[in-house]
A and B are shown apart, each in its own frame.
Chain A
Amino acid sequence: MNLGRLYAIAFKETLQVWRDPRSLAIALLMPLLQMVVLGYGVSLDVRRVGLCVYDQERSQISRELVERFTASDWFRINAKPPDDRAVREAMDRGDCAAVMTIPVNFSRVLAETGKASLQTVFDATDVNTTNIATGYAQGVVGMITADFESRWAASHGVQPPTVGMIDLRPRVWFNEGLDSRNFIIPGVVAIILGLVGAQLTSLTVSREWERGTMEQLISTPVTALELMIGKLAPYFMIGLFDAAFCLCAAAFWFQVPFRGGVGTLILTTALFTLVVLGIGYLVSVRVRSQLGASQIALLLTMLPTTLLSGFTFPIDQMPAAIRAVTLFVYARYYVTIVRAVFLKGSTIGDLRLPVMSLVLFAAIIIWIAARSFHKRLD
């Protein structure tokens, strides 16, 4: 290992990134863009579900019912269709995600029997929203029912029924506001690092083959290891810079609570960056065209990170086979770590399993990458 040669390679690579508008854009603009798009765009919260109310009765009770639905932040009334056909049309057009029909004799049945049914039809093309909205509707109706019951009991001069009522008092920890942004944003850092790191490094060797500079380079005394380390060093710095930017944006701009140690975060981020750069370099060595290399790097980093890292879809809800696959998705360990460090304030000791997994990944990938480059044309 010759430090002079290492420096020469790193310096040259830095100049090239600096003078290549495309690389510069990936390095500097991409994190900003992704942070804005994913930070503001991705939310798993279901709020203000569009509701159509088909009020066939138009009584005081029915109006009160509707008001109770609107009062919650969970629903907003989009339309009040006058007849069945209009209801159907509103649903078809996608004006509303749910239709509530209050039957003609709702108040009378309720007053006479103490029981009445309220039909709510959901557009289940979006399963997730439907599940959550159903829960909301049940909650709203539950509160209304309790009110109605006490009023009915009062007007009839009897005690409201209390038997069998168990009061569940949920307490949530770590993300007290149940704000999905706190859960999403730390994961966004993994996405951005994967994208930027692998994209940039995927070009570094393939560019030399494509432009014909590799043939002369391999005729010099530079070793394969010097070439790899020299080439990865600038991208490692860029990766850490981007990570710092994203993590600061998460903590200070998006106000995700940060309860852990900065050191833990820096160490694990550096590890993850190494894994990502190793993958990009490996792809770059194997694929000798820049376009092909960047496409494959994209496929290897973005796809598993967005789908299988637990970034959006919880890993423990996946089928066993897919769950087994996620063990090889290096990003899942980092996503777990960043979330835990941010929200729970976990330490390296708490996170030894995912941290060790990252160490293992980094070691294996860098080792393979170092061995895969040969100073030969054939």
Chain B
Amino acid sequence: MTEATTEVAVVARDLTRSFGPVVAVRGINFAVTRGEIFGFVGPDGAGKSTIMRMLAGVMRPDSGTITLAGIDVVANPERVRTYLSYMPQRFGLYEDLTVDENIFFYATLFAVPRKLRRERGQELLEAAGMLPFRRRLAGKLSGGMKQKLGLVCALIHTPRVLLLDEPTTGVDPVSRRDFWSILYGLREHGVTILLSTAYMDEAERCSRLALVSAGEIRHCDTPARLKQAMPGALLAVATANARGAYAALEGVPGIIGLLLMGDRVHARVDDAARRLPELRGVLAGRGIGDADVTRIEPGIEDVFVALLGSGIAT
């Protein structure tokens, strides 16, 4: 059977889930194509984990449907298991088992033949840079190693759809790079990846993003198009006194939005060419002479704030 590249891998329709009086997911719709890396971006409590759990078939939606690899997940959660892999937000492997034992356990649960298990285990551990740690207890691995082991276990049976709930939270930059190079490799093989993240750099790597806020998908598009959709232009103010600059710029005409990002202030303005010199003037007038104002391309964080009116991370 030949599969077209535009084949739809995952479809969710009117997905809703409440916990008591709290509506965690509110009638969301999306469709993910085979080979896509689809990211859910949003602050904690936006409903990302609940979406992932419903997709994985470990939590039932109150209403709505999910189709994954052509199978109705809500009606037949067991039939879809062999096609998908789910990595929960909290480390889900056995800390009192070694790296190899965890891999053996998950490979056997998914009925991976012994020969294939060996080959694939070797291949994945190598890609993760974990070959020297095969006999180490999972509990004795670093945070990044644990997440990579989680990914290895999730991939040992070659799933068609991979669900990752905040997979790189608390992971060091090197491990995160390994992690993503594995994900890119999977995409080449037509694996569909859905992940949730609160990291902006990670969001930028996705082929498409769903901006999630208060249980709803507010915008869904490629990172590039989301940036284009952002109204206005972005000016970055770099200064030793970022808080002072933020205070100075509040209420200045032409500024639509202000965002304090560490040692910089991002000012969204209606007209970059006209406002850039004006801002420099305002800052100089308030004694912040070292401020370096330049026009920059917006990041996902800026887009998120511009479109939703609030930040993602702290």
**Residues of chain A having any CB pair with chain B under 8 Å:** 2, 4-5, 7-8, 11-12, 15-16, 19-20, 211-213, 215-223, 375-378
Indicate if the CB atoms of B56 and A16 lie closer than 8 Å.
no
B90 touches A215 (CB 8 A): yes
Give Cα A334 to B87, complex, Å: 45
Q: Are A215 and B106 in contact (CB under 8 A)?
A: no
Report the bound CA distance from A212 to B104 in whole Å: 19
19 A-B pairs (CB sep. < 8 Å): A5-B108, A7-B108, A8-B109, A16-B96, A16-B97, A211-B94, A212-B88, A212-B91, A213-B92, A215-B58, A215-B90, A216-B88, A219-B57, A219-B85, A220-B109, A220-B110, A222-B109, A377-B59, A378-B59
Report chain A residues within 8 Å CB of B109: 5, 8, 220-222
The digit string for B71-102, where 1 denotes a CB below 8 A from any CB of A, is 00000011001101111101111111100010
- Chain A proximity mask over B37-78: 1 for CB below 8 Å, otherwise 0: 000000000000000010011111000000000000000011
Interface centre among A7, A12, A219 (most CB of B within 10 A): A219
Instruction: Tell me, yes or no, whether B252 is within 8 Å of chain A by CB.
Output: no
Instruction: Report the bound CA distance from A211 to B56 in whole Å.
Output: 19
Q: Which of B58, B59, B105 contacts A8 (CB 8 A)?
A: B105
Contacts of A212 in B (CB 8 A): 88, 90-92
User: Could you tell me the distance between the alpha carbons of A217 and B93 in the complex, rounded to whole angstroms?
Assistant: 9
Closest approach, in angstroms, between the C-beta of B99 and any C-beta of chain A? Answer: 13
User: Would you call A377 and B93 a contact (CB within 8 A)?
Assistant: no
Chain B's closest residue to A222 (CB) is B109
From known contacts A4-B111, A220-B106, A220-B109, infer whether A376 and B58 are also in contact, taking CB-CB under 8 Å. Answer: yes
Query: 7 closest A-B pairs (Cβ-Cβ)?
Result: A216-B92, A8-B108, A219-B86, A212-B90, A221-B81, A215-B88, A220-B109
CA distance A4 to B87 in the complex (A): 22
In the complex, what's the smallest C-beta–C-beta distance from A6 to chain B, in angstroms? 10
Report Cα–Cα, A221/B57, bound state, in Å.
11
Contacts A15-B96, A220-B106, A221-B78; is A375 near B58 (CB within 8 Å)? yes
Closest to A216 in B: B92
In the bound complex, CA of A15 to CA of B139 (Å): 14
- Report A139 CB to chain B, min CB distance, Å: 62
Whether B96 lies near A20 (C-beta < 8 A) is: yes
Which B residues from 123 to 182 make CB contacts under 8 A with A?
A: 150
Chain B residues with CB under 8 Å of A216's CB are 86-88, 92-93, 150
Of A15, A16, A20, A213, chain B has the most CB atoms within 10 Å of the CB of: A213
A223–B53 alpha-carbon span in the complex (Å)? 18
Determine whether the beta carbon of B94 is less than 8 Å from that of A12. yes
CB distance from B102 to the nearest CB of A (A): 9
Asked, given contacts A15-B96, A212-B88, A215-B90, whether A375 binds B77 with beta carbons under 8 Å apart, the answer is: yes
**Pick from B53, B82, B84, B105: contact of A377, CB under 8 Å:** B53
Task: Collect the chain B residues with CB atoms within 8 Å of residue A375's CB.
Answer: 58, 77-78
Residues in A with CB closer than 8 Å to B108 are 4-5, 7-8
Task: Report which of A5, A20, A219, A221 forms a contact with B56, defined as CB distance below 8 A.
Answer: A219
CB distance from B288 to the nearest CB of A (A): 48
Q: How far is the CA of A217 from the CA of B81 in the complex (A)?
A: 11
Whether A2 pairs with B92 at a CB distance below 8 angstroms is: no
If A5-B111, A213-B92, A219-B84 touch, whether A12 touches B58 (CB-CB below 8 Å) is no
A341 to chain B, nearest CB (A): 39
A376 and B60 contacting across the interface, CB-CB below 8 Å = yes
What 13 additional pairs, Cβ within 8 angstroms, besides A16-B96, A212-B90? A2-B111, A11-B105, A12-B97, A16-B97, A20-B96, A213-B94, A216-B93, A217-B92, A221-B78, A221-B81, A221-B110, A221-B111, A378-B59
Which chain B residues border A7 with CB–CB below 8 Å?
108
Closest to B96 in A: A19
Give chain B nearest CB distance to A215 CB in angstroms. 4
A residues less than 8 Å from B90 (CB atoms): 212, 215
Least Cβ–Cβ distance between A18 and chain B, in angstroms: 9
Alpha-carbon distance between A212 and B86 when the two chains are bound, in angstroms? 13
Residues of B within 8 A of A378 (CB): 59-60
Q: In the assembled complex, how far is the CB of residue B161 from the closest CB belonging to chain A, in whole angstroms?
A: 11
Closest to B91 in A: A212
A12 and B82 in contact, given A19-B96, A216-B87, A221-B110 (Cβ under 8 angstroms): no
Q: List, in ascending order, chain B residues with CB within 8 A of A12's CB.
A: 94, 97, 101, 105
- Find chain A residues with CB under 8 A from B96 CB: 15-16, 19-20
Contacts of A221 in B (CB 8 A): 78, 81-82, 109-111
CA distance A215 to B108 in the complex (A): 17
Q: How far is the CB of A116 from chain B (nearest CB, A)?
A: 76
**Complex interface bits, B253-295 against A, C-beta within 8 A gives 1, otherwise 0:** 0000000000000000000000000000000000000000000
Complex-state Cα separation, A221 to B92, whole angstroms:
16
CA distance A5 to B157 in the complex (A): 14
Chain B residues with CB under 8 Å of A5's CB are: 108-109, 111
- Complexed CA–CA distance, A4 and B113 (Å): 10
Q: How far apart sit A266 and B187, CA to CA, in the bound complex (Å)?
A: 57
List the A side residues contacting B97 at CB < 8 Å. Answer: 12, 15-16
* Interfacial chain B residues near A215, Cβ < 8 Å: 53, 58, 86, 88, 90, 92
Please give the distance in Å from A124's CB to the nearest CB on chain B: 55
In the assembly, what is the distance between CA of A190 and CA of B9, in Å? 56
- In the complex, what residue of chain B is closest to A212 when comparing beta carbons? B90
B104 contact set on A, CB distance < 8 A: 8
Q: A8-B105, A212-B91, A213-B92 are in contact. Are A219 and B111 (CB under 8 A)?
A: no
Nearest-Cβ distance from residue A350 to partner chain B, whole angstroms:
45
Minimum CB–CB distance from A200 to chain B (whole Å) comes to 15
User: Once bound together, how far apart are the Cα atoms of A378 and B101, in whole Å?
Assistant: 29
CA distance A200 to B35 in the complex (A): 45
Least CB distance from B113 to A in Å reads: 10
Report B-chain residues with C-beta under 8 Å of the C-beta of A223: 78
Which residues of A are found within 8 Å of B77, using beta-carbon distances? 375
CA distance A16 to B58 in the complex (A): 24
